[in-house]
Amino acid sequence: MHLQFGADAAAEVVVSWHALQPARSARVLLGRADGRYERSAPAKTVSYTDAKSGQVVYAFHASLRGLQPDTEYLYAALHDGAEPVLATFRTAPRGRGKFTFTSFGDQGTPTLGKRYVPPAGVTLPNPPLVNDNLGSPAAGDTTAGVERVRPLFHLFNGDLCYANLATDRVRTWWDFWTNNSRSARNRPWMPAAGNHENELGNGPIGYAAYQTYFSVPPAAGQTAATRGLWYSFTVGSVRVISLANDDICYQDGGNSYVRGYSNGAQKAWLERELAAARADRGVDWVVVCMHQVAISTADQFNGADLGVREEWVPLFDRYGVDLVVCGHEHHYERSHPIRGAAANPTRTPVPASTRTDVVDTTKGTVHMVLGGGGTSAPSNQLFFTPPRCRVITEVGDPDPKTGKRPPVYVTEDAPWSAVRDAANSYGFAAFTVDPGTRRGGVTTMEVTYYDVVGTDGALRPFETFTLQRPRSDV
């Protein structure tokens, strides 16, 4: 069971759960934390058939609207023949209020789903089970760490469970939700689609599983194939915009190459959203959640993608995006505020300031790589010293055996690199928004990056810094 905010997080929440068979009378009972019953809401049923196993998965989404802002609710999800499952959630504040959210990407699962196959000539009487979807035990610890912070909501920056790599894709999604529902049933986990959400045969461009499990706010320009791949929602004075970068990235990173799948619809929607956010006097902060990155100083890993720099970054500059949270690279790193690009083939971002403790986001956008969600392939030991960046500028012809298009890299200097964590592989960031008290005054976002350093989500702060900007209600 898990939650998603609607477009207005102060008034709209969706409760979601899933099963391997259809269900009758799927619904949610809603009440207040003091036990007062309010109403029942029916759930919409959607499904997909996993192309690899033939298994049909049914998901149930109950939309709760007309909620009171900044209010705790008790709810029960049920359908005929099933015991009700109870949990709670809190709606967002209306207008300017203080709250905390968290973010990471690239998690996987902590479970073991595949029997180990020994090398030729080696016989094992009881071959062990291994993880076949790039997960690790840390994937469980990061969720526990988020629950120690107890944010209002969590941004998940793509590559959720790596089901596209797994022997049993449906089971991998089940393991993912078993791990994360302990948090996501009590606070919305708002996703961005990563390259590993692209599962061969699951829908025309591979995202049918992702689109079935999540029910996110609707967005203009989408078709049946692209439903739910980009969206936005408002929490207090923060507009969050979630993007699906496979549409514009050069890298061939999923089960199929789908660059250009929206025919420009996502970019057109993004520009309208950014313009509307900056024209809204109730919105101070614009935060973008996406998967692939414009910055990274890891060597021999994915690298930055020129497609992001060509398509998205100029819009971030034009409309003054404050913060971009990403995954894809499996480490922690943040940029100086960047604005504009060098006149070179890789469009190297230009730092607007080099102060790292307090950052004025009117000068530029801070990009944060938060890919330490729990995979078994961290990249924090691969940093260039001094910082450099490998940028994917194009792809070659498909490999005759694999069909994959090899990336073509150009290496550049990285004057935009501000802080990175080489010592620890796993962690997440927490963002506390303080709107301030004075109209037209300063609003701040205090950011702490936590290393997850032990079982059950033991945390150790790696760094804390402050983003600030003027309020827009002048």
Burial class (CB within 10 angstroms; exposed 0-12, middle 13-18, buried 19+) of 122: exposed
Buried b (16+ CB within 10 A) or exposed e, 342-353: eeeebbbbbbbb
Q: pLDDT tens across 58-111, in order?
A: 999 999 999 999 999 999 999 999 999 999 999 999 999 999 999 999 999 999
Pairing of strands 56-64, 44-49: antiparallel
How far is the C-alpha of 421 from the C-alpha of 388, rounded, in Å? 15
- Determine the pLDDT at residue 377: 97
438 HSE (CA, 13 A, CB side): 5
Instruction: Report the chain's mean pLDDT, rounded to a whole number.
Output: 97
Burial class (CB within 10 angstroms; exposed 0-12, middle 13-18, buried 19+) of 256: middle
Entry field: residues in the chain:
474
How far is the C-alpha of 224 from the C-alpha of 140, rounded, in Å? 33
* DSSP conformational letter for 281: T
* DSSP conformational letter for 220: T
Q: Residue 297 in 3-state DSSP?
A: coil
Return per-residue pLDDT of the chain as tens, 474 residues: 999 999 999 999 999 999 999 999 999 999 998 888 999 999 999 999 999 999 999 999 999 999 999 999 999 999 999 999 999 999 999 999 999 999 999 999 999 988 888 899 998 988 888 999 999 999 999 999 999 999 999 999 999 999 999 999 999 999 999 999 999 999 999 999 999 999 999 999 999 999 999 999 999 999 999 999 999 999 999 999 999 999 999 999 999 999 999 999 999 999 999 999 999 999 999 999 999 999 999 999 999 999 999 999 999 999 999 999 999 999 999 999 999 999 999 999 999 999 999 999 999 999 999 999 999 999 999 999 999 999 999 999 999 999 999 999 999 999 999 999 999 999 999 999 999 999 999 999 999 999 999 999 999 999 999 999 999 998
Is residue 366 within 8 A of residue 337, CB to CB? The reply is yes
How far is the C-alpha of 59 from the C-alpha of 256, rounded, in Å? 25
Q: pLDDT tens across 241-274, in order?
A: 999 999 999 999 999 999 999 999 999 999 999 9
Single-letter residue type at 286: V
Is residue 332 within 8 A of residue 372, CB to CB? The reply is yes
